[in-house]
Structure 1
Amino acid sequence: MVKPVKLAAATAATLALLVGAAQADEGMWTFDNVPAAAIGKSTGFTPDAQWLKKAQLSYVRLAGGCSGSFVSGEGLVMTNHHCISDCIAELSSAQKDYQADGFLARNRAEEKQCAGIEINQLVDITDVTGKVEAATTGKTGQDFANARRTVLADLEKDCAGGDDKLRCDAVTLYQGGRYSLYKYKRYQDVRLAFAPEAAAAAFGGDPDNFNFPRYCLDMSLLRVYEDGKPIASPNHFKWSREGSKEGEASFVIGNPGSTSRLRTIAELEFIRDNVAPSFLFWAQERRGRLIEFGRENDDRRREALDDLSGTENGVKVWRGRQIALADKDFFGAKVRAEQELRAKIAADPKLAAEVGDAFTQIEQAQARYAQLYPRFIMLERSRAFDSELAAFARLLLRAGDERGLPNPERLREYGDSRLPALKQRLSNPAPVHAELEIALLSFSLTKLREQFSPDDPIVKAVLGKRSPDQVAEAAVKGSKLGDPAERLRLFEGGKAAIDASDDPMIALMKLVDQAARQARKSVEEEVDAVVEQAQARIAKARFALYGDSIYPDATFSLRLSYGKMQGWTEPDGQEVAPYTTIAGLYERDTGAAPFAIPPSWEAARGKVQMSTPYNAVSTNDIIGGNSGSAAINAKGEVIGLIFDGNIHSLSGDYGYDPRRNRSVMVDVRGMAEALRTVYDARHLTRELGVQ
């Protein structure tokens, strides 16, 4: 198990993002604001426009929440094993378990379609700040939220132009200080070419998660098709034959999910006191339920594996965040940083007038959020309805209602430019495991009753005279939504088909939809709108003070991080080297999960080059969502594949410490050696240029 770690004391300089330019190798930079001079000073290499454009077009985004990159001219995409675990699970069966056995297509005909994966390639970025400001100026509260929703929906629709092969996302940057429109080429025919065994990909399991040294082959290879043929991908990252050396530059291209580095102290206090405890109480109990479910038999263990891994990962992430926000030195530095920013604003009469009472407004909004949060998270975010079938029912129910409205008036996730992705999700043939569904839905309904009491009107409407177990079993066993054909029938039939449906899961979600929508509306009007307008004024003050030498918080949009291959020194003086080798994998093997190597690696014991670098760390600034990102060198060659951060990086949501925050990657030399020697996949190493 991971030992408790006291986060290293942070300094105001470490967290200088809040009041000035980024320090050292810190930063997740948008491609229209890359600090080329700072990169050159730090790494000795200054990227030019041509290098950046190739990097932009070589990366891809997996719509489910990960990153990836083209690594050949024939549509081959590299990402993490854990990023496509849903695909591997859906392709598996009791007769052929690809999680346990791995998967290798010996030719293109054997590549298997991952029905639930959509890949997006960024082709254009446009600044639309002026258009959003023109539409929202002078508006507050719900008027502001409505105007903002309308203009963003129109921008996305006009950008895509009705072309299902394009996806456009309006992205909020600097907490509302700027807006950009990202245009993507959309690919929905994605096929699996290679995935190792889960025991190799996640060697060390939860005990090793967020730790280093590591010995994981957390990689997979997909191929993108269009019109039944592999696409041509002239922009791609070649694999390096030589790999990297300690101290050499490393660039990470990917999609960090979200950070909170520019948030005010009031917002961070809300996360510390409300969001983190709420999640941890729920997730730790959910983890226990999943462990017990998986102990029933091998089939149940396989069915619960994905949910359990994700829950365990979430527990560690949020525990690390809570520790960071509770650490007096770390949080004290954040407080001092905000005080310095506020003092600089107050010292400039013009800035002080423009910012006004923005900080106070945010504080008041957080107090209101504390009142709204329980119903918002349980109903609108569906923590009380932890079920794939319930998610399908919610999607269908709202799609029926929203598609009858003009595009600008809809909830954003049901805008015209988002519908192709929703339809693909509904058509995914991945099996829905009924007993797991019942177990999770029953658990979450129990938490609903605990949260609001048996006398709450919503609880009464959902449970009536029945127990959570009885409601869950009836809804799951009576539902037909596990059949993609039925889901598509209802989707295409629209509101009339939904209203006519007697599916018990749809009926269940109808009971709470009005209350869930009201919870969302209250948060959007009384919290989000207030905070975004206030943060926009603060952001303008930052720009006035520091120009574009600051980067926005992560938003699951394309970013560039620069750093170097480098280990670190623990607070107790222990030196952590930047590389591990394949020899270390065999030394760590105990024969018992999660430290058991799979049979393929046992068979290769006398063949692999034991000195081959296997995993590595760098100073690159990353966060969740960077999983699957390529780490490349100055020549644009792959030197690694990001799959984790170290334990110190768990505070990275709120600040970056260059002394110990590290990205963890699979070394390109380890991936090449595994493909060549362990899996005999030389057709892939030839395509990758590392035969």
Structure 2
Amino acid sequence: MKKVVLFLTMCLMAFPVRADEGMWFLMFIERLNHRDMEKMGLQLTAEEIYSINHHSLKDAVVQFNGGCTAEIVSKEGLVLTNHHCGYNAIAELSTEEQNYLKNGFWAKNRSEELKPKSLYVRFFVRMDDVSKRILSKVNDKMTETERNKVIQQEIALIEKENNEGGKYTVSVRPFFQGNEYYYFVYQDYKDVRLVGTPTESLGKFGGDTDNWEWPRHTADFSMFRVYADKDGNPAEYSKDNLPLQPKHHLPINITGVKENDFAMILGYPGRTNRWMPSGGIAQNVKYAYPAWVEGAKTGMDNMKKFMKQDATVNLKYASKYASTANYWKNRQGMIDALTKAKTATAKSNEEAKFNAWANKPENKEKYGNVIATINDYYAKTNLKSRHDNYLTQLMRTTSYGAGPSVLGNALIAYYKENEAKRTEMIPKINSLIGNYYGDFYAPLEKEVLTAQLNLYAAKASEYGLAPVVAKMKETNKGNFAADVDKAIAGSIFANKESVEAFMKDPKPELIEADQLYVISNDLMTKMRAKSPEQLKADDDFAIAYRKLVEGLRESKLNTIQYPDANSTLRLTYGKVRSLPTDKRNDAKINNYTTMTGMVNKYKVGDSEFDLPARLLELNKAKDFGEYADKAGYMPVNFLTDNDITGGNSGSPVLNGKGELIGVAFDGNIEAMAGDVIFDKKLQRTINLDIRFVLWIIDKYAGAHNIIEEMTIVRDAQP
């Protein structure tokens, strides 16, 4: 028996699992969760959920392009995920003439499916515990630098031992703040093609207004297909590739859901911070997140001005804008929820109890200074966190932020090398050019850079601005418009054409004098800079945080017995569960929404609430086919109390038989503190009802070929 399993089991005897909270490892389901799940309605064995030697649910759940989750829903490798997860690929494949993002797309046969340039899905093969192996290589006498070096060396060995000569991708990840380590084996498939997507007015219905809100009415889904070589192995795109024959695909149940039905979600949650100290929560609420929100809004407002004026520009920036807007609203919701819940105070009270335990004679040597060190660190880094978030949003919202520095430094290195080495470096140079200038409109980029520099110089100066920017501010009084105009007008990095022209007739000595490069490099250098004092503070904090988590588990002062999310496959379970009655929702119980409610939100020509004429016609005729609820309405979205976060977008929502009943796509803003603390009363997952997905594919789009290849369960559950 592995030591970690024994430890977790003992803890659970003292602290019963709350069924709706927790992001659990699949390898521990039988020991830790299975009995509880059975009581709630699970009808599968643990082996049917996670098996190394036989097909199981885990074989039908994939990580989608590194940031979302998706599920396999046919024997022919058909993939279902969120519309916002497929957004980049759909936008890339779209043109002004063939705007699939705006108008939708449905392949009537395999030959019509479209291949984006870069898109992959990752299958989970297996995992195992390597905590004992890795931690046996380190000791408390090591510095953090020494410790990390030893750990990385051992990780490299483990990854090499398990990749079978490059067949698999192996990732070793730390958990419980470096107190445990597990390795994960994956297989990546890169030939993934677009099969279908609803119009943007359906896939993004409600826009920014409804984002993170309930009641919700949106068709947030898109469909792709995984292709493999003739032997079923991963392969680069080829017309000779065949649809993947997966080990397992999810049957789809269309009998509907009701209050208290069992609901299970498998997916790749991105990041939670349930172990974060009170000082970190306070820092986010007062310093980091307000800067993030203001910086993101500045970028969005200036992007939108140009996006409204030109359809091509709108298409180029649709994905960047949507991503920025999503996190902008998320971070504001986090500020409000964490403040309202007084989360920092609750954590502080827990830490006071821990500190008392830590300073008992038997614990003091190891844990006595933990809380003091952590609190000192946050006090010293509050202003830095504000500064860094303003600067980060500048970098994220304009290619002129990081682009000139990264590309400029790459070119400087390139021109210092011999001919042979340059040949090796060319693909990287071309990739950087594509990254920064692929979806690029110079007037927009200039406007965003100007606005962000104005904001940064005004709001981040208390910590200390980047030196060049600080000097410019002395003369321009905080208005960078003229400086930016001048810098771009004479820059090598003004656009793709100017970079390519420079490379045809290079004068490397001009790069370091290029004013746009100077500004960008100044900002990037400031972002990366760490004094010896800061490096030591970082090391001291890392040690203290690791000991805090270790001590909280040892003392049983914290009942969280699952590790924070970090983009590894997890299972969460709970029930279909309503929120208090809301007059905005026409549903009889506030755990689902209907097409009637969707049509009630309809606004002709509105960018967020317009609807296609065909949907309005079908709704008027009540032409819902077999997908209507037995009560007669057309279901759209529904609520569960599962514990999810970013990265779970696109995750399958399963009933007790492991059949697909919905697709997770959002959380509710009232419980936005969920990444830090789970709110049992308010926390909800907003899901797309699978019946609405099928109705759109079948009745609305007429893509019967897609319906025919799926396994649909029509019999009512017992």
Common fold: TM-score over 0.5: yes
Q: Is the 8 A contact 1:445 1:468 kept in 2?
A: no
Please give the secondary structure, in 1, of the residue aligned with 2:712. coil
1:125 counterpart SS class: strand
Opposite residue 37 of structure 1, the aligned amino acid is R
Which residue is 2:483 aligned to? 467
> Bigger shift: 363-372 or 242-251?
363-372
Q: Structure 1 residue aligned with 2:27, among 29, 32, 35?
A: 32
Counterpart among 616, 629, 637 of residue 602 in structure 1: 616
Alignment-derived partner of residue 688 in structure 1 = 710
* Cross-structure match for 2:176: 174
1:256 and 2:254 matched: no
Q: 1:478 aligns with which of 494, 505, 517?
A: 494
Where 2:663 maps in the other structure, the secondary structure is strand
The answer to whether the 8 Å contact 1:272/1:326 transfers is: yes
2:692 to 644, 654, 670: 670
1:649-660 map, 5 Å: 649-660=671-682
The one-letter code sitting in structure 2 at the alignment partner of 1:518 is A
Separation in 1, partners of 2:83, 2:227: 20
Partners of 2:20 and 2:561 lie apart in 1 by 13
* Length, aligned pairs only: 648
Change (3 A) 1:288 1:155: same
The equivalent residue for 2:550 is: 540
Change (3 A) 1:127 1:442: farther
CA–CA distance in 2 between the matches of 1:475 and 1:145?
A: 41
Q: 1:106 pairs with 88, 105, 108, which one?
A: 108
Q: Quick check: 2:59–2:123 contact (8 Å CA) kept in 1?
A: yes
Q: 2: CA distance between counterparts of 1:421 and 1:39?
A: 49
Q: Deviations over 1:30-84 (max 9, x none)?
A: 2233322332344455641232232222211124421112122222111100112
For 1:439 and 1:37, how far apart are their aligned partners in 2?
58
Partner of 2:50: 52
User: How many Å apart are 1:313 and its aligned residue?
Assistant: 2.2
- Summarize deviations over 1:557-610 as a string: whole Å, max 9, x none: 211110111112269999952122223323332324222112342353433356
CA distance in 1: counterparts of 2:251 and 2:42, whole angstroms? 21
Q: What corresponds to 2:441 in structure 1?
A: 433
- CA deviation vs aligned residue, 1:510-564 (integer Å, no higher than 9, x gap): 55554443349976x3454333322222333344345997111111221111011
Q: Secondary structure at the match of 2:542?
A: helix
Q: Distance in 2 between matches of 1:110 and 1:344?
A: 65
Q: Which amino acid aligns with 1:174?
A: F
Structure 2 counterpart of 1:632, which letter?
L
Deviates more, 1:231-240 or 1:366-375: 366-375
* Structure-2 change in CA distance of 1:362 and 1:156 (3 Å): farther
For the 8 Å contact 2:395–2:402, the answer to whether it is kept is: no
Aligned 1:26-175 pairs, distance under 5 A: 26-34=21-29, 35-43=33-41, 45=43, 47-53=45-51, 54-137=56-139, 138-152=141-155, 155-156=158-159, 159-160=162-163, 163=166, 166-175=168-177
Take 1:476 and 1:86, find their aligned partners in 2: how far apart are those partners? 28
1:646-676: CA deviations, max 9, x gaps? 2223121121122221100110111111111
Match of 1:568 among 579, 585, 588: 579
What's the % identity of the aligned pairs? 25
* Distance in structure 2 (CA, Å) of the matches to 1:234 and 1:564: 28
Please say if residues 31 and 560 of structure 1, whose CA atoms lie closer than 8 Å, have aligned partners that are also in contact. yes
Mapped partners of 1:581, 1:98: distance in 2:
26
- Which moves more between the two structures, 504-513 or 351-360? 504-513
**Of 318, 340, 347, which aligns to 1:327?**
340
Paired residue secondary structure (1:233): coil
Partner of 2:593: 580
User: Does the residue aligned with 2:394 lie in a helix, a strand or coil?
Assistant: coil
Greater mean deviation of Cα atoms: 358-367 or 571-580:
571-580
Who is 1:413 aligned against?
none
CA distance in 2 between partners of 1:401 and 1:143 (Å): 32
Q: How does 1:303-318 map to 2 (within 5 A)?
A: 303-318=316-331
Shift of 1:162: 6.3
Q: How does 1:132-281 map to 2 (within 5 A)?
A: 132-137=134-139, 138-152=141-155, 155-156=158-159, 159-160=162-163, 163=166, 166-226=168-228, 227=235, 228=238, 229=241, 230-281=243-294
TM-score normalised by structure 1 residue count: 0.82
Alignment of 1:386 with 2:394, yes or no, is no
Bigger Cα displacement from structure 2, 141-150 vs 351-360: 141-150
Residues 424 and 70 (structure 1), Cα distance of their counterparts in 2 relative to 1, 3 Å cut: farther
**Higher relative contact order structure (alpha carbons within 8 Å, sequence separation ≥ 6):** 1
What's the offset of the Cα at 1:154? 5.3
Contact 2:400 2:520 in 1 (8 A): no
Q: Deviations over 1:349-389 (max 9, x none)?
A: 5445432322222112222322543564466x473463347
CA distance in 2, matches of 1:56, 1:486: 50
- Structure 1 residue 328 displacement after superposition: 5.9
CA distance in 2, matches of 1:541, 1:440: 46
Q: Among residues 371, 374, 378, which one is paired with 1:362 in the alignment?
A: 374
- Secondary structure of 2:280 counterpart: helix
CA distance in 2, matches of 1:522, 1:114: 46
Tell which deviates more after alignment, 266-275 or 438-447.
438-447
Identify the range of structure 1 (100-109 vs 470-479) with the bigger mean alpha-carbon deviation.
Answer: 470-479
- Give the alignment partner of residue 449 of structure 1, picking from 451, 457, 460: 457
Q: Distance in 2 between matches of 1:687 and 1:440?
A: 46
Residue 40 of structure 1 aligns to which amino acid in structure 2? E
2: CA distance, partners of 1:474 / 1:427:
21
Residue number in structure 1 paired with 2:562: 551
Structure 1 position 344, deviation (Å): 5.2
Residue type of the partner of 2:374?
I
Closer, same or farther: CA 620–357 of 1 in aligned 2, 3 Å: same
Q: Which amino acid aligns with 2:484?
A: P
Aligned counterparts of 1:378 and 1:105: Cα–Cα separation in 2: 43
Contact kept? 1:265, 1:335, Cα under 8 Å: yes
Q: AA paired with 1:364?
A: D
In 2, the alpha carbon distance for the partners of 1:329 and 1:512 equals: 35
Q: CA deviation at 1:399?
A: 7.8
Instruction: Report the structure number with the largest CA radius of gyration.
Output: 2
1:311–1:516 distance in 2 versus 1, CA, 3 Å: closer
Gapped regions of structure 1 (runs ≥ 5) = 1-15, 404-419, 491-495
Instruction: State how far apart, in whole Å, the 2-side matches of 1:422 and 1:556 are.
Output: 29
Q: Is the 8 A contact 1:115 1:190 kept in 2?
A: no
2:491 and 2:16 map into 1 onto residues whose CA distance is: 54
Matched to 1:39, the amino acid is M
Equivalent AA in structure 2 for residue 324 of structure 1 = A
Which stretch has the larger CA shift, 591-600 or 613-622?
591-600
Give the Cα separation in 2 of the matches to 1:161 and 1:497. 46
Measure, in 1, the Cα distance between the counterparts of 2:696 and 2:155: 46
Unaligned runs of 5+ in 2: 1-10, 229-234, 415-426, 477-481, 714-718
On the 8 A contact 1:127/1:180 being kept in 2, the answer is yes
> Is contact 1:566-1:619 (8 Å) kept?
yes
Residue 649 of structure 1 aligns to a residue in which SS?
Answer: helix
- What is the SS of the residue equivalent to 1:360? helix
Deviations 1:5-25 (A, max 9, x none): xxxxxxxxxxx99x9565341
Alignment RMSD (CA, Å): 4.0
Describe the shift of the 1:390–1:188 C-alpha distance in structure 2 as closer, same or farther (beyond 3 A).
farther
Amino acid at match of 1:222: F
